[in-house]
Structure formats: C-alpha cells, structure tokens
A and B are shown apart, each in its own frame.
Chain A
Amino acid sequence: MSAPVAETAPLEHTPLHDLHLRLGATMVPFAGYAMPVQYPGGVLKEHLHTRAAAGLFDVSHMGQIALRADDPAEAARALEALVPADVIGLAPGRQRYGLLTDEAGGIRDDLMIAHLGDRLVLVVNAANKRADAAHLRAHLPAAITVDELDRGLLALQGPAAGAALAALAPATAEMRFMDVRRVEIAGAPCFVTRSGYTGEDGFEISTPRAATAAVAEALLAEPAVLPIGLGARDSLRLEAGLCLHGADIDATTSPVEAGLTFAVSSARRSGGARPGGFPGAARILTEIADGPARRRVGLLPEGRAPVRAGAPLFAGADDSAPAGRVTSGGFGPSRGAPVAMGYLPAALGEPGTRVFAELRGRRLPVMVAPLPFVPAGFKRG
C-alpha cells in the first residue's frame, strides 16, 4: 500500500474546523487549509446521499472578494475588462459564472459573480484567491475597492436542499437558479445564491465567520442533511461535467477548448453590444468563429477500471504519440462506473468516438461521451 504523505506545513483552519473533528472527518491538506475529505460514512455514501437528499459542504476555503464603487455599475463596467461575461447586464439579485482570462486566451481562474445591489461579490478558487485578488487590484481602476472577505461559505446541495433551507429561511423557497438574496439564518445575516457545483439544485451560503458553525449546525439538524467532504465534492462535480481549475482548465486551455463558451456572453462576442475588450479576446473570439483545435470531452472507459487525471489518450491502440490526455477521472458513484474528462483533437471529440487511454502500461478503450454524465437538477423555473 502507498504510504500517506506526511503534512508538515502549517495549515489554515476554516470556521468549521472543530465541527469537522467532532463529526469524525478525515482531514487533509488542500490549498493551504485543513479540509475534510470525508466523514465516517465515506465518499461513496456521501456522494449518493447528496444526489438523493441533501449534503452540506464546507467551502470556506474559497475566496470571497467584494468589489465596491460609489456606483456599483462602475464596478461591473470595470470587471468586464478582465472577464468575458456580460457583467453590466447582470441584474441586482442575480449571479453569473465567469472566467478570468489572460492575454493568451487561457483561464487564470473560474468564478461566480454575484450582484448584491450595492456591490459585486466574486467567489474564486481557494488555490487562486491571493493571486486573483492581486490581479484585480493591479488591473481595476483605483476607484474600485477590492476587499477579500473573511467570511464562511457553505454549500447545501441536493434535491432536498430547497426544503431544508426553507425550513430555516422561508424566503429562499422563491429563489430560482442563480438568484442571490440576503437572508437571516440562525440569527446571522447571510447572503445566499441558488447555485453550486454538484449538478444538483442547491445553495451557496456566505456567512459571517463567527456564525458559520451555528448556521452549519442548524442545517445539519435538518433530517435530510448530512455533512459531505471534498472527496464526494470532486466525484459529484466530475459526474456533473464541471471543470476543476488546475485540472480541467488552466492557463493552457482556452474557454472555447474547455467547452465554456457559454461564459463568453453574447454581448461580448463579435457582433454583440460590447465585443471583445477582455484579455485574450482575439484568440477566444476567433475560436468561437472557427472552432477550437481541441476540445474538452466526456470519457466513459469501457471496462471497470477508473482512468484518472494524467492518463494519455491515443487515437489508435498502437499509436505511439498521444492525441490528448485525461484531466479528471475516477469512479462515478451515481453512474456506477468509471467516468472521466479530458482533451482531444476536435476530429476525435464527437460522442461515440472510440479512443484509448493508457493505464499501467496497457491501452484501454474509452468512449467519447456527452457531458454531463448525470442529468442536472437545477431549479430553473
């Protein structure tokens, strides 16, 4: 058996650290934080429970960054210089997925942009949050205040999430997918978005740091809600076909290659109201027009062996040069089978195309498949 790697660097704690230990979590280092990878139930049960009922995730390690200006529209306009999303058109009380692109058309980070009325709040990946804040400060006008918020963040995900949160905050029952509301939960002023990263209906709940544990415990007191660790968070997002920055997307992948063209709003495309004007626009708009040379695809290994990140992909069983590689892969508990994502040349990217993954020196057949691997449960109506 491979030995676990000893952790020596000091790790930051989220506001739920003591709660995780009390709940019996296995803690692991992740992006500089001690995080629960699983609770005693284990990854498989946690994954399936989230799809069947509701799971509570501590995502307080993620960055929450407020952008303020005398006029909030000024912050939206300024942010458009860094992301290809239509931020000006984002209404108060709404949220949108976005990308911080670079001059080469790569992806610095992916993020959520929420309009709280008097400010924008960005939720960014934990591993990138310091760099993102520095990037925003360096490139936004001085009139825009960039404030790294010291708040907790909880994700409540699954088909029973709506009823569980409504029991504590009835106003959230009316929220639709990507709505943003300020609500009081367990006596604490929170802001809530109807979104998440599991493919299920659910919410992300930003809490005052000191109130995070009380909000989490109030949610865990709901019978449908169990605590879920990072292990299941990863298998849930993989089945949902959602990208992990640093694995499926990074500075070497463009939004179009990654299948994230929807994050380039129509207003920002050629022929739109404000075409271009974001880093990497030349490459990204060209790829939208002409198609990318390679694409992120879903992959279903034909056998039972999970094919994991880093595995090279080949067009033929005997080819010597790889055509692409797997960027995320593992076992999909809801599919009951291995699932993966990776990049392939556009010509090999059509669902139904058979390629080969190299695993422990052997070539295993893998079928290109549509994403997501499980149907999304978002509350769009």
Chain B
Amino acid sequence: MLRFTEDHEWLRLEDGIATVGITAHAAEQLGDLVFVELPKVGARLTKGEPAAVVESVKAASDVYAPLDGEVTEVNGAAVDDPAGVGADPQGAGWLYRMRLSDPGAMDALMDAAAYDALDK
C-alpha cells in the first residue's frame, strides 16, 4: 500500500512496517541535496513532528513524520550520498522505516492519484 502526505512524503506499508521518503515532486523542488539527517533507530515519532532533515545548498527542510510510530531502520546510503536521494527519491533514496502505531491510519492518507491531483 503506497500513500502520500500533503507535506510531500510517501509511505509504503509492508507487514506493519512503513518505508518513508520524500516524493519526486519534493526532490525536484529541493534541487541537489548535500546533507541528510535521519532519526535514530528506536526513536518514537509523532505525526507532524520533524523526523528527518534534508538540505540543499540553499536551505534546510524538515521532513515530518507522516504518522505515529517507532523507527526500525534507517537508510545509511542516503546519509552517505545525499545526492542519491534526489536521484531516486521514491526508490533507493528512501529515508527510514517505522513500525506504525496504527497501520489503519494509512487509509486516511492520499493514494497516488489523489497526490498527483494535489495543487502543489
């Protein structure tokens, strides 16, 4: 199940674990990324609170937690090669994985068609 937020994050849910990243639209808006900071494994995230930071030459942007949950894994490759996040933001450039407190909350987020239709 793939869902999107109005803050331009995506989540893919598999077995109660959501993989989270920034959307292709967000990556294009940010431009070349030069720094990525990810949450620690075990961190408890609250929906809408800053969970990660992505930085371009000109600005730092918070990446908000899309839902409540606990971080189970982070993508070290994204930290080592921030440019790789921009190159494949919805694939190899994923940021972290989290165990959702309430997987059912995914249903309230947008599907791809709704996100594409969003006035960005």
Contacts and interface: CB of A to CB of B under 8 A. Distances in A.
Given A1-B22, A2-B62, A304 B35 contact: yes
Contacts of A294: none
A331 B62 contact: no
Contacts of A2: 7, 61-62
Interface in B38-86: 53, 55-58, 60-64
Contacts of B63: 1
A51 interface: no
B8 interface: yes
Contacts of A1: 7-9, 22, 26, 61-64
Given A44-B32, A306-B34, A235 B26 contact: no
Interface residues of B, number: 21
Contacts of A43: 31-32, 56-58
Contact of A308 (B31, B37, B60, B62): B60
Nearest to A308: B60
B57 A44 contact: yes
B57 A235 contact: yes
A380 interface: no
A3 interface: yes
Interface of chain B, helix or strand or loop or mixed? strand
A42 B83 CA distance: 12
A279 to B, nearest CB: 34
A37 interface: yes
Interface string A227-259: 000011011000000000000000000000000
A195 to B, nearest CB: 24
Contacts of A231: 31, 57-58
Interface string B1-26: 00000011100000000000010001
A48 B13 CA distance: 40
A233 B60 CA distance: 18
Contact of B57 (A4, A47, A305, A360): A47
A45 B58 CA distance: 13
B60 A306 contact: yes
Contact of B32 (A42, A330, A360): A42
A333 interface: yes
A77 B29 CA distance: 50
A232 B32 CA distance: 12
Nearest to B8: A1
Contacts of B22: 1
B53 A331 contact: no
A38 interface: yes
B105 to A, nearest CB: 19
B31 A42 contact: yes
Given A1-B61, A331-B55, 20 more contacts: A1-B63, A2-B7, A2-B62, A42-B31, A43-B32, A43-B58, A44-B32, A44-B34, A231-B57, A232-B57, A304-B35, A305-B35, A305-B55, A306-B34, A306-B55, A308-B60, A330-B58, A331-B34, A331-B35, A331-B57
Interface of A: 1-4, 37-38, 42-45, 47, 231-232, 234-235, 304-306, 308, 330-331, 333, 338, 360
11 contacts: A1-B7, A1-B26, A1-B63, A2-B62, A42-B32, A43-B31, A44-B31, A44-B32, A304-B35, A330-B57, A331-B35
